[in-house]
Structure 1
Amino acid sequence: MTDFRGFVRAHTRLSPVPLVPEILLHQADEAIALWERTENESATRQPPPFWAFAWAGGQALARHVLDHPALVAGREVLDLAAGSGLVAIAAAKAGAAAVTAVDIDPLSLAAVAANAAANGVTVAAVERDILDTTPDAAVVLAGDVFYSRAMAERMMAYFQRAAAAGALVMVGDPGRAYLPPSGLRRVAAYAVPVVATLEDAEIKQTTVWQVTLDQAIGPGATPGVARDGGR
């Protein structure tokens, strides 16, 4: 596969995000068939098409950023494991000085480019694993990244380095199985409409967390326990 952006457009439809209808994304209707197409058109094994859906964590975080633009306005923002670029686009719309979306899947970066163009914003797309680097963005945002133990551990280490360097670090999560048991402060909660075939419900109760340098968990939260282990 060489025309990644063409593949994105051919196998998705541009439609509003349920919790963030002011943003349009190229979205797929069904994950397994799309994943099979990516495998069939590539010479190597492909990751699941996370880029083709508006996941609960990303929707909640995007909604929160748009409703609280002062979090990102005039600041450099990094959307980590960007997927579709939903959170990056929200940050750009909220007035961020510059937005970078990072992912290791070239189809994700193609989706970010197509989605940013559809929403009339500028997002720099970077295909790279940066989790072992030193963070330098003023704001680090991530949606739905605690879907495996190894990923959660690497993500949280990166987030804590970023927070220690003075960055605002915020994560949207609908109670995934590997949500860390400490180092998070609850900021907001949303009832997020999702694709029922991807989740265990049509609505996911989703929390926006701020990463902290202490070991306290925000009020009333019970992270680390979930009904599913998907993204």
Structure 2
Amino acid sequence: MLIDFVRAHTEPLGLPFLPELKLRQATEAIPLWELMEQVTGRKGLPPPFWAFAWAGGQGLARHLLDHPELVAGKSVLDLAAGGGLVAIAAARSGARSVVANEIDEYADAAIALNAELNGVTVDRALGDLLSTPPELPVPDADVVLAGDVFYSRDMANAMLGFLRRQHERGALVLVGDPGRAYRPTTGFEQVAAFRVPVNEDLEDADLKHTTVLRMV
């Protein structure tokens, strides 16, 4: 089972930047990625983004925990949720309901484990919400969140189109970003900034300047 694989190859660790939360994490990315391909017999699997706490997600989670009024009593959608860190922060901050969306089945399993680890309820939606038409019904959320999603041109374009549609129907849209290559230069205002501790092997740095952006 995927949950058994995730449990066996990660461990619950505290997060210095988010001492309120824990996340199941791997110690190294490449060996885990190679092992996933060996176990499944499938080449070209996506990297195990779900096994680490990325800067954009940490910054956005910190902002929610510091400002719970943003999500308290509201319905929340966390896009490209990875291991579910942002979704968990929203649940901890009093959201009425939280849906964490992923296209990666390993990430979906990690979200389940991490929600349980932190004692919160997070609903999961496995499938591509960004496609046209989307693979799943799109939750009609009051707040839409995304952490660290501007790392490729295709992803950024698809994400921005979806986020703009959510904003236009009245949702609050918040994004956490550590200066990725395809971060938009217009359409957002900065609402917070942090220096976030990160895995130096993944980021070539031990701290990343990370901003939280609100779509306008």
Q: TM bucket by the smaller chain?
A: over 0.9
Q: Deviations over 1:135-156 (max 9, x none)?
A: 6211000100000000000001
Q: Specify the alignment match of 2:64 in structure 1.
A: 65
Q: Specify the alignment match of 2:46 in structure 1.
A: 47
Instruction: Give every structure 1 segment of 4 or more consecutive aligned residues whose post-TM-superposition deviation is greater than 4 Å.
Output: none
- Among 182, 194, 213, which residue is 1:190 paired with? 194
Letter in 2 for 1:42: T
Percent sequence identity over aligned pairs: 59
Q: Is the 8 A contact 2:77 2:139 kept in 1?
A: no
Q: Specify the alignment match of 1:103 in structure 2.
A: 102
Q: How does 1:2-41 map to 2 (within 5 A)?
A: 3-41=1-39
- Residues in 1 aligned to 2:60 and 2:17: alpha-carbon distance in whole angstroms: 10
Structure 2's unaligned 5+ residue stretches are none
Q: Deviations over 1:29-80 (max 9, x none)?
A: 1100010011111132311000000000000000000010000000000000
Q: How does 1:128-139 map to 2 (within 5 A)?
A: 128-132=127-131, 133=134, 136-139=140-143
Letter in 2 for 1:44: R
Q: Is the 8 A contact 2:156 2:182 kept in 1?
A: yes
Normalising by the residue count of structure 2, what TM-score does the alignment of the two structures yield?
0.95
Letter in 2 for 1:163: H
- Residues in 2 aligned to 1:127 and 1:149: alpha-carbon distance in whole angstroms: 22
**1:189 alignment partner, SS class:** strand
Aligned length: 210
**1:41 alignment partner, SS class:** helix
Letter in 1 for 2:159: M
**1:197 alignment partner, SS class:** helix
Q: Specify the alignment match of 1:78 in structure 2.
A: 77
**2:40 alignment partner, SS class:** coil
- Residues in 1 aligned to 2:97 and 2:139: alpha-carbon distance in whole angstroms: 15
Q: Pick the structure with more helix per residue.
A: 2
Structure 1's unaligned 5+ residue stretches are 213-231
Q: How does 1:115-154 map to 2 (within 5 A)?
A: 115-132=114-131, 133=134, 136-154=140-158
Q: Deviations over 1:107-149 (max 9, x none)?
A: 0010000000010000011111001446621100010000000
